Structure 1
Amino acid sequence: MPDIMTRYRNTLFLSALVLFAFAIRFRFAGQYAESWDAVDFALALQRFDIFHMQPHFPGYPLYILTAHLFANGTTDPVQALTCLSVCFGSLSVIPFYSLAKRLLPDQQAVWIAVLLFVTSPLLGLAHVQPMSEALGLFAVLLYVSLLACSLNSKKPLVELSMGAILFAIVLGIRISYFPVGLLLLYPLARLYRQRSGLGPFLLQTVGAGCLFLLALAAWLLPTAATEGGLVPYWQLGKAFTAGHFTEWGGTSFSSEAAWWERLQTLVWDRLLVNGLIGASSLSDGIPLPVWLSASLLAAFLVLGWAGATDAFRRGEASVRWFLLLAVVPYALWVFFGQNSEKARHLLPLLPWLYLLLGRGWAYVRSKWRGPAGALVLHSLTVLLLVSLLVRQWTVLQQHLFPPPALQLVTYVQQHFPAEGTIIYTWEEQRLFDYYAPEYDTERLRSFDYFAQSLQLRAPSVSRVLVTNAVLDGFGPGVHLPANELARFNADPFLYPSYHTVVLYELSPQTIERIASGMLRP
């Protein structure tokens, strides 16, 4: 009976946390397509076309298909995408709880990790955006919690087979989460150790592989068919991948930053400050004062060190291998293959941080056994969780306001007619395409291309507007005399790349000098 009552209380408390997370996220659900990718997804709900970036490769077919279920209740694609994020972001507490139950030493540590998960400002933000991360993280947690069953399973073939199917589903939602597939090596290794012979093992392995291929083909073949077949789809993929790694992706291969600088940015700025505190810097965690943000980070570091020490000293070797397979491949992928400016790429790593902190909390509690130590620990824990919840609430409130790039679009609509106006932009162009398609926009960051475009367009336009992203892209050697018209700002934590958007206008004299070739770098 006590076990039944304990399970009942745990289920009740977990349900309350899910409803609490849903209530907050629904209250602050995003209303705008705030980025290039968000516009891609919104347009995909109207017409699925990978060639025209609706959405971009590989098409996110299972994400778009799921979003269509939410689109039946609204005429606004952005609202449908946001509702999807709210629902699955809230439900992701359940598989995370299941994972924590299997990896943490006691129930109190489990609840600490779950509460950190629920109050996370970065996760809270991802769960109210019209993006694929919320559904993707839910699928990853479901997949990982299933594979965690193989830690003590006597039949790892079940986890291997089901995990293979779930991994194919993860790829259909967010293919950039592919490194988590290496975690399938764990149940495969357990299956090998329990083999009755090499033949049966190979047969079982091939069977699990066939299940993966069937699940993959279930979404890959229909998606490729929308682009004319596998060959055109493959060609689209090659072109997109080349651009991601060599031009605009912000990866280690296209960035000018040294690798040690990227490592510092990834660990300090993204993982610790963005991921744990929920701020762009320790001084920007409004309304938390700097000293409190610094104290929270120090507490996280202490708990993390305690958790890592305890896990690798007393934890089982099998659990350590499971954790390494779950974390290291994706961490390497984030470092080498993802844009270091965007903290959202780190989302699959955050649950592991919270599990580490939960284990560290349990370790510290075991050392502070007296009433005074327990009182201090629980008081500090309450302060930490309340601070994170306050920061999350502030972030979600700020997110309700239009992003700077959309404020730019609104300003142009209010102050300039579409006829005779051209706007040179970078990624802001996609928001013009969605919210103000009547305006003539051009996306560029090369001065030579800019000069060539002006030569062709100067006779037919009366107003030339440019954004700071364009001017910054020209490089330090180019200084255009431009008149600043408006500046739009927001918290860099919300919009890492476009938290400040500045609109400039070029004078007729400047346009003439550029078009005639008199003004050059």
Structure 2
Amino acid sequence: MKKLLKKKFIYEPHHMNFRWRVNFLFLACFFLRLCFTGKYLDSCDSIDFALGLQDYDLSQFQPHFPGYPVYIFISRLFFKVFRDDVWALTMPGVLFGSLTIFPLSLLAKHLFSEKIAILTALFYLLNPLCWLQSERPTSDTMGLFFVIVSACLLCYACTTAHKGCIFWGSLALGFGLGTRISNFPFIAVWAASLFYITTLKVPREKRALSLGLLGLTIGIITWLFPQIGYVGWRPFWQNGFVFSHGHFTDWGGSVITFGGLDRIICLAKSIWAYGLGGWWYDSSVLRLIPSVIMAISLYWFLKYRRVDRRVRFLGAYVLPYLLWVILGQNVANPRHILPIIPLLLMMIAYGLCKAGERDYKGIALILTLSLIMSMAVTSFRLVIKYHQEVPAPIQIIQWIERQGNPLSLRIYCSDEKRFFDYYAPQWDVRKVRDITEVQRDLLSSLDNPQQILLVHSFGEIRQFGITHPPRVTIKGNPYTDSTREGLLLYTLTGL
């Protein structure tokens, strides 16, 4: 295998050019991501991760089940260097998000061509969701890296004689599950690849199944056994049951709690507007340019790409995960559709390249350059805004601090309580859903606070029956702020 790679990538000039181009894109990607990293913990999940760095406890959702052990382990290594929670949690996304350039370009090259691979890597570098998510202190981008590595190696295993790709691709998927357990639908493309290798490929690889199972098992055991050893067998599964029940029936945003037409619209917006940077009614009119180009490119992909084993491989990758998002994930949160965006970018790149090679050479070139420029402008505006803005819950905390003695207050809020737990742990902050829970808590309290504040989002405030105007209004940016609706702060009286 080493001799083959040496011959392929060192002695052939066009392979040297491809390798240097990919290296350049990686360096550009890493530098740009590094310049615009987030300054704050911007979501409840990132707060959970930060608390987990200091006091790892699944029962307290620090972080929640199954504990993201691979991501936390890497983040702790960065914490030893930077001694800062935000940097420790963000750097894995910056590093692994940039490294994704390599397996993604190799996957696109193996499926299609070098030209399509380079264009796919460039689109990935400039894509708004892939870029913005790399700046956030969350595990999504690191999980994407392992998924793309696994897909790349499994694709190689399906079309070459390199048996090692089966093992290493399966191992990468096991690590990906330890980074984000929600990557489990990619077991489908793993199983489909093993089925093809063992039954349809000529010649058949009899050891493929054992190699695949061995790699996946080692990848899972590497993080699962230490996790169970630390938490305990019974508490680990109890936490898993409690979390799963809450996720699917209460706060997780699954189809059980949020369905109908609104769910379909949210999914479409997450993929098109947040994921690909397309136009939506609340976005800039400039997004119409990439929207038209991407729509034409996807049409060209369907026109020029016949259904073969390569398209089936893409389908085995995208469709199971998309089904999981539709049924079990919070479709209003665009980071959940991150793993399918690189494959959609690959389809767009294929459509533009093939149209340029066949019927529309000049037009395809103009559209490609226009898409690159418009995508770059959109992404730069988003990451600069994200880098400069203070998240809405932290703005609320800063405002309360400026008003005087916060220890004399009682603050009622929703999920924003996690921000208070981290940034102001000494304050009296309680989580409630409606005015009934506020009244019940006050009746059960021994001491009455001097002042009562209520912090909630625009959509939730109707549960409290408040008619007077808020003291503070913090507007959220739906494209950069995890609190998309913004937050309102009220003073409660007469309770």
Worse overlay, 443-452 or 345-354: 443-452
| Deviation (angstroms), 1:455 | 1.8
Q: Could you say which residue in structure 2 is the equivalent of 1:514?
A: none
Taking a change above 3 Å as real, the CA distance of residues 127 and 278 of structure 1, as seen in their structure-2 partners, is farther
Q: Could you say which residue in structure 2 is the equivalent of 1:519?
A: none
Q: 1:58 aligns with which of 66, 86, 93?
A: 66
Query: For 1:330 and 1:68, how far apart are their aligned partners in 2?
Result: 29
Secondary structure in 2 matching 1:305: helix
Query: For 2:184 and 2:55, how far apart are their aligned partners in 1?
Result: 26
Taking a change above 3 Å as real, the CA distance of residues 207 and 306 of structure 1, as seen in their structure-2 partners, is closer
Identity across matched positions, percent: 27
Q: Could you say which residue in structure 1 is the equivalent of 2:295?
A: 301
| Deviation (angstroms), 1:204 | 5.5
Deviation track 1:218-259 (CA, whole Å, cap 9, x = no partner) reads: 2112112222x222100100000000000000111111x31x
Taking a change above 3 Å as real, the CA distance of residues 195 and 344 of structure 1, as seen in their structure-2 partners, is closer
The residue correspondences of 1:65-80 to structure 2 (distance < 5 A) are 65-80=73-88
Query: For 1:221 and 1:15, how far apart are their aligned partners in 2?
Result: 36
Does 2:378 correspond to 1:391? yes
Taking a change above 3 Å as real, the CA distance of residues 107 and 235 of structure 1, as seen in their structure-2 partners, is same
| Deviation (angstroms), 1:108 | 2.3
TM-score normalized by the length of structure 2: 0.92
Query: For 1:169 and 1:92, how far apart are their aligned partners in 2?
Result: 15
Does 2:341 correspond to 1:356? no
Does 2:316 correspond to 1:325? yes
The answer on whether the counterparts of 2:153 and 2:166 sit within 8 Å (CA) in structure 1 is no
Taking a change above 3 Å as real, the CA distance of residues 234 and 197 of structure 1, as seen in their structure-2 partners, is farther
Query: For 1:415 and 1:483, how far apart are their aligned partners in 2?
Result: 18
Does 2:125 correspond to 1:118? yes
| Deviation (angstroms), 1:426 | 0.8
| Deviation (angstroms), 1:483 | 4.6
Query: For 2:484 and 2:120, how far apart are their aligned partners in 1?
Result: 32
Q: Which residue identity does 2:329 align to in structure 1?
A: Q
Query: For 1:455 and 1:188, how far apart are their aligned partners in 2?
Result: 61
Taking a change above 3 Å as real, the CA distance of residues 237 and 450 of structure 1, as seen in their structure-2 partners, is same
Q: Could you say which residue in structure 1 is the equivalent of 2:236?
A: 233
Does 2:486 correspond to 1:503? no
The answer on whether the counterparts of 1:132 and 1:174 sit within 8 Å (CA) in structure 2 is yes
Query: For 1:8 and 1:196, how far apart are their aligned partners in 2?
Result: 30
Taking a change above 3 Å as real, the CA distance of residues 241 and 6 of structure 1, as seen in their structure-2 partners, is same
Query: For 1:474 and 1:391, how far apart are their aligned partners in 2?
Result: 32
Worse overlay, 33-42 or 318-327: 318-327
Q: Could you say which residue in structure 2 is the equivalent of 1:517?
A: none
Does 2:486 correspond to 1:487? no
Taking a change above 3 Å as real, the CA distance of residues 216 and 4 of structure 1, as seen in their structure-2 partners, is same
Query: For 2:403 and 2:149, how far apart are their aligned partners in 1?
Result: 49
Query: For 2:368 and 2:202, how far apart are their aligned partners in 1?
Result: 49
Taking a change above 3 Å as real, the CA distance of residues 472 and 392 of structure 1, as seen in their structure-2 partners, is closer
Secondary structure in 2 matching 1:465: strand
The RMSD of aligned alpha carbons is 2.4
| Ranges in structure 2 where 5+ consecutive residues have no aligned partner | 1-6
Query: For 1:41 and 1:409, how far apart are their aligned partners in 2?
Result: 20
Q: Which residue identity does 1:294 align to in structure 2?
A: L
Q: 2:252 aligns with which of 246, 249, 253?
A: 249
Deviation track 1:477-521 (CA, whole Å, cap 9, x = no partner) reads: x522445111112321112544411111112xx22xxxxxxxxxx
| Ranges in structure 1 where 5+ consecutive residues have no aligned partner | 512-521
Q: Could you say which residue in structure 2 is the equivalent of 1:212?
A: 216
Q: Which residue identity does 2:489 align to in structure 1?
A: L
Q: 2:195 aligns with which of 189, 196, 199?
A: 189
Query: For 1:129 and 1:426, how far apart are their aligned partners in 2?
Result: 22
| Deviation (angstroms), 1:4 | 2.3
The answer on whether the counterparts of 2:412 and 2:455 sit within 8 Å (CA) in structure 1 is yes
The residue correspondences of 1:26-425 to structure 2 (distance < 5 A) are 26-104=34-112, 106-154=113-161, 157-193=163-199, 201=206, 205-206=209-210, 208-227=212-231, 229-255=232-258, 257-258=259-260, 260-267=261-268, 269-277=269-277, 281-285=280-284, 290=285, 292-311=286-305, 313=306, 315=307, 317-368=308-359, 373-400=360-387, 401-425=389-413
Q: 1:430 aligns with which of 418, 433, 436?
A: 418
TM-score normalized by the length of structure 1: 0.88
| Deviation (angstroms), 1:450 | 1.7
